[in-house]
């Protein structure tokens, strides 16, 4: 693939390289944590991980393009040696935690608890922005590391182990949605333990990015507190699940081989607008996200909503024209806007 950082370069003799896509949520973030359904879609922004086994049991990580300055750290058994980079300590600690948990899962899958690795990570998915950067990195590490140890595992096991890695780092507040989507590619439906791929037309997805990131743990905890304290907050979570079910019905009736008709995009967009309103009511939106959502709607996007945990990061809109992307690029607080093609390929081995 063109985004393979080793393409055209000399790869270390035993290096194994895997990549996995990021994602956007059409519907269902936050509610999926409580057993409601969600529909995320993989997009053509990927994390690429190279893994080379080493004999001393140490792990050395080099990370670039994670919206950090880049870092390298070597450790044995723990990521306590925090890299010194000029970015939020919470983001860096979380990134290192995900890497550590992924390594633990790969070692367990290969029955090689003392294995060491040189790991190189490159990604064009903004860190903490709601596009599934951590899931893509975890999925790619587990796939590449098990292959490097000559113990490859099937995609279902990759997704399951990646979920458990995120579950550990997020202290039991993760869902299977991000990791399953990143592993399988395309559009998926996740409801509790029930994870499956679904067909969807090539949706005209536009992403706006405010350059920031939300604190996933704090945002999820905030929704949990609201849900436990107020009955109407619990009802709001259930209403998000109802939106997902209706959206799923619309997608099931669509022709996956052709361009989606305007009527379908309008119905899906209306559901996205409702979904964003409910997420705002749960306190997980932000001024920058709301500003981008309204800019997209005023540009006549069919619908727009935040994607991911919220608090900052990205919005997703449906618009086959260039108008939404153009409007977002001139919106104060929007750092980037781009069209995000649906990625039908999930985690895969990269060839030189």
Residue positions annotated with a catalytic role = 178
Exposure letters 26-62 (e unless 16+ CB within 10 A, then b): bbbbbbbbbebbbbbbbbbbbbbbbbbbeeeeebbbb
Kind of pairing between the strands at 194-198 and 336-339: unpaired
187/340 Cα distance (integer angstroms): 13
Tokens of 51: 């893994």
35/190 Cα distance (integer angstroms): 9
If we measure between CA atoms, which residue out of 153, 267, 134 comes closest to residue 201? 267
Place of tokens 């997704």: 159
Tokens of 93: 């600690």
**Coil/strand/helix, residue 312:** coil
Handedness of CA 223, 224, 230, 232 (dihedral sign): positive
Place of tokens 């458990």: 164
Cα-Cα-Cα-Cα torsion 118, 119, 120, 122, nearest 10 degrees, comes to 180
Backbone phi, then psi, for 339, in 5-degree steps?
Answer: -85, 135
Place of tokens 């932000």: 286
Can you point out the beta strands (E) in 103-247? Answer: 116-123, 187-191, 194-198, 205-209
CA distances, 177 to each of 57, 118, 166, 190, 274 (Å): 32, 28, 11, 6, 20
């Amino acid at each position: 693939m063109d985004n393979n950082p080793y393409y055209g370069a000399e790869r270390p003799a035993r290096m194994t390289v895997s990549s996995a896509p990021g994602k956007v949520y059409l519907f269902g973030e936050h509610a999926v944590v409580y057993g409601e359904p969600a529909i995320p879609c993989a997009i053509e922004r990927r994390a690429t991980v190279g893994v080379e086994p080493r004999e001393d049991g140490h792990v050395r990580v080099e990370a670039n393009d994670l919206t950090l300055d880049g870092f390298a750290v070597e450790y044995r058994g723990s990521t306590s040696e925090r890299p010194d980079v000029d970015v939020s300590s919470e983001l860096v600690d979380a990134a290192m935690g995900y890497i550590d948990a992924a390594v633990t899962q790969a070692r367990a899958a290969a029955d090689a608890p003392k294995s060491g690795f040189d790991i190189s990570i490159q990604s064009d998915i903004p860190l903490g922005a709601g596009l599934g950067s951590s899931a893509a990195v975890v999925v790619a590490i587990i796939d590449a590391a098990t292959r490097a140890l000559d113990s490859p595992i099937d995609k279902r096991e990759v997704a399951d182990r990646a979920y458990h890695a995120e579950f550990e780092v997020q202290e039991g507040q993760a869902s299977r949605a991000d990791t399953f989507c990143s592993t399988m590619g395309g559009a998926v439906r996740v409801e509790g333990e029930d994870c499956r791929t679904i067909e969807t037309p090539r949706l005209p997805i536009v992403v706006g990015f405010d350059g920031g990131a939300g604190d996933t743990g704090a945002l999820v905890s905030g929704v949990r507190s609201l849900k436990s304290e107020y009955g109407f907050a619990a009802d709001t979570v259930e209403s998000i699940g109802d939106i997902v079910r209706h959206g799923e019905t619309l997608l099931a009736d669509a022709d996956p081989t052709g361009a989606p008709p305007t009527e379908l995009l309008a119905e899906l967009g209306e559901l996205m607008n409702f979904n964003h309103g409910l997420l705002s009511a749960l306190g997980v939106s932000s001024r920058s996200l709301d500003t981008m959502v309204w800019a997209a709607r005023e540009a006549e996007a069919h619908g727009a909503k935040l994607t991911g945990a919220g608090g900052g990061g990205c919005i997703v809109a449906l618009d086959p024209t260039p108008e939404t992307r153009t409007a977002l690029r001139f919106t104060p607080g929007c750092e980037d806007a781009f069209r995000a093609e649906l990625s039908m390929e999930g985690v895969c081995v990269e060839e030189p």
